[in-house]
Structure formats: C-alpha cells, structure tokens
Amino acid sequence: MKDKEHIRFLQGNEACVEGALYAGIDFFAGYPITPSTEIMEHLASRLPQKGGKFIQMEDEIASMGAIIGASLTGKKVMTATSGPGFSLKQEALGYACMAEIPCVIANVQRGGPSTGNPTHVSQGDVNQAKWGTHGDHAIIALTASNHQDVFNITVEAFNMAETYRTPVIILLDEVIGHMREKLVIPEPGEITVVERLRTSVQKGVDYHPYLPREDGRLPMSDFGGEHRYNVTGLFHDMWGFPNNNPKVVSELLRHLMEKIETNVNNINMYKEYWLEDAEYILVSYGSSARSAIHLARNRRARGFKIGVLELQTLWPFPADMVREKCAGAKAIVVVEMNMGQVVTQVKNAVDHPNKVFLANRVDGELISPSNIKTLLRMIQGKGV
C-alpha cells in the first residue's frame, strides 16, 4: 500500500496545502473563514511536523501582518482567506506590494458582495485581486481548475513571490476548494522550487535593500542578519528610508509596475484544448473551465469546431496571448461566474471585441455545460 502514498484523494484546499509544503512553506497565519478554512486546518497540523510555524490570529488583517513580518526573517509564508477576509487584508497586501515582501495569499472565492453566499461558488473577486488595495500597483494572481493544477500553481505562486518579491494571489473558488479528486504528489525536484535570493553583500559593505540589480531582481537580507535596514510602506529610497522626492516616487512606482508587467510572458500560465482549428473559443478559468472543457469535448465529438483557452494567470492579464489564440475565432465566449470581469479584459485584448460574449452564472451554482451551450446556440442564431 505504501507504494501509492503519493497518490492522494483530497479537496482542492488540501491540494493547495500540499503545493505549499512542496514549495517549502515555513509559516502560515490565518483566520477561519468559509470556504478556505481547510487550508489553515491542514497547515495547523502539517507545519509543526516539519518544524514550521502556524498561528491563528485575531483577525484577517493580523494574519496578513504576521506573514509579512515572518517573510522578512527569511521564511516562505502564506495566508488563506475568502471574500470578506480578502477585503480586510487589502491594506496590508498593498504594503507587501510597496515594501516588496514575498508572500502568498490564497482566496477561495465565495459569493459576494459582503457576507454574500459563503458556502457557494463565485468568481467575483477577479477584479478585486487586481484592484483591491489602493493606489497603482501590479499583482500576480493565479488560478486552476483541477487539483493537480492547484498543486502546480501553488508551487508557482511561491516561486513567483520569491522571484519578483511580491505578493502572489491564488484565486481558487468554492467548487475547486471543496470537491475531492486525485492528486499525484510529484517527487522532490520534479517541479522547480525557487528559493529566496539573498544578498551576497558582506558585513561592513553597504547593502541597499531597494536597489535592483542589473536583472531587475532585489536580493534580500533576513531580519536578524548582518544588514540592518528599514522597511516601510511609504515611498522610499534604495535604503528603504521614506522619501517623497518626485523622482524617487515616480521611479519606485514605475519599478513596482514594470517588474511584473514586463514579465507577463514569464508569469503567464494557461492551457489550451482543441484550439488549432476552433471557430468558437471558450475562454475560462477555475471551476467554470471544467464546464467549458466538458461542453467542448462533447461538441467536438459531434464535429463542432470548438476549443477552450483556460487561463491560469489572471493578473497580469496575458492580453497578447489571448489576442493571438483568439485571432481566427468566429466568436469568443468568456465563461465565468461573475457579472463580467475577465470578459472585459478579453474584449480589450482581441482585435474584434464585438465577437466576445459572456456566458455567466451568478446564483451560487456552478455554471453547467448546458448553460454555456444555450448561449452558444444563441450566438449561432439557432435559438434556445
């Protein structure tokens, strides 16, 4: 039986935990909230088994603060939340953007706004992931539609957090978080794990925590180490000292945006199904992508030229890739469970926005293949 121990049957939230452990998580702080709680429950038992630290904080804001503090001591950190908790975390999330702190935030989406529909699915936080905190900033947000991919994007989330010194958001949804399916845990080394880039500057030599290297990366120095420096949410100079000199302000803001936006191709993760000759393309992500693929597979079997572009990187939005993949399509249907968030991005990306349609569902139930089919028939002028 031991030989099958790497094969697990678990919830998406647990797949996220397995991914985090594979990536080397050391520290988790969180606050209970449906439908993400399983992530914290499993880490409460798993982290101390490997000498890591878990803390249940007094609220969502505190959890976000705690992981930022822990990251500065050199740890790989994560918190997990859902809708209202994600709202509460936004100020500290912006701090992590500004102070360039690697950290991972999982948001298992539920119906909103407000307390909304806590035990039901939604994908209504896509725009919040990008614009939730105030001020211009760039962010990375990843999502997945099955547990193997949840595992993979979680590892990538940690990798990207370290590579770009930024918070990375894992946008799961209630269906993915709660349903159970198979996960094959890869062998160590099978997936690349990016470790923290630490400064090679020796004791006694000036270390500039916020002076990017030639390649744009910013090596870090752990709190408790030889380099003592300041970390602040104010605009700051290369030493980390508050500075509102217009040149410093402008350069820092541009740096924060560009380090992400110029790497959109490196950050972009996606999957495609039957796109090569597709006349109709379904663009989807998360659990709704499952319905899109289900429908496309059935229609393909009947000779219908339909394909699916499944997005795994939602932010920065991979506009060029979407434009290329959708160039030859007669119609592009964005399948999502909100009032139209990714569809706006797709319309902006493609050459003919009038060919872009929205197939959505916002009642707390997973959008079904037949929901999508209905819209497709309307686009084709076949009625319903």
User: Between 241 and 380, whose beta carbon lies closer to another protein?
Assistant: 241
Q: How far is the CB of 369 from another protein (least distance, A)?
A: 6
Task: In whole angstroms, give the CA distance from residue 311 to residue 48.
Answer: 34
Q: How far apart are CA 134 and CA 154, in angstroms?
A: 25
Closest CA to 311 of 340, 346, 344: 346
Contact between residue 284 and residue 175 where contact means Cβ atoms under 8 Å apart: no
Selected from 116, 212, 219, 225, the binder of another protein by CB under 8 A is 225
- Is the Cβ of residue 67 or residue 342 nearer to another protein in the bound state? 67
Q: How far is the CB of 27 from another protein (least distance, A)?
A: 5
Q: Which stretch binds another protein (CB under 8 A): 123-131, 227-235, 318-326, 340-348?
A: 227-235
Q: Which of 257, 300, 368, 373 binds another protein (CB under 8 A)?
A: 368
Of the listed pieces 22-30, 153-161, 191-199, 340-348, which binds another protein according to CB under 8 A? 22-30
- Closest CB to another protein among 120 and 130? 120
Contact 121, 173 (CB under 8 A): yes
Per CB under 8 A, the list member of 113, 135, 216, 242 interacting with another protein is: 242
Report the distance separating Cα 152 and Cα 309, nearest Å: 18
* Pair of tokens at residue 67: 């992981």
Quick check: 103 and 71 in contact, CB under 8 A?
yes
Letters for 171-200 (x = contact with another protein by CB under 8 A, - = none) are ---xx--xxxxx------------------
Three-state DSSP class for 297? helix
- Specify the stretch interacting with another protein by CB under 8 A; choose among 63-71, 263-271, 337-345, 349-357: 63-71
Comparing CB distances to another protein, the nearer of 221 and 263 is: 221
Single out the residue of 55, 67, 131 nearest to residue 101, CA to CA.
67
Closest CA to 178 of 114, 119, 113: 119
Alpha-carbon span 173 to 76, nearest angstrom: 23
Residues 302-361 that bind another protein (CB under 8 A): none
Q: What is the DSSP string of 279-290?
A: SEEEEE-HHHHH
Q: Which is nearer to another protein, 53 or 323 (CB)?
A: 53
165-173, 248-256, 355-363, 364-372 -> range binding another protein (CB under 8 A)? 364-372
Footprint (CB under 8 A) of another protein, residues 275-294:
287, 290-291, 293-294
231 counts as binding another protein under rule CB under 8 A: yes
Q: What is the DSSP letter of 3?
A: G
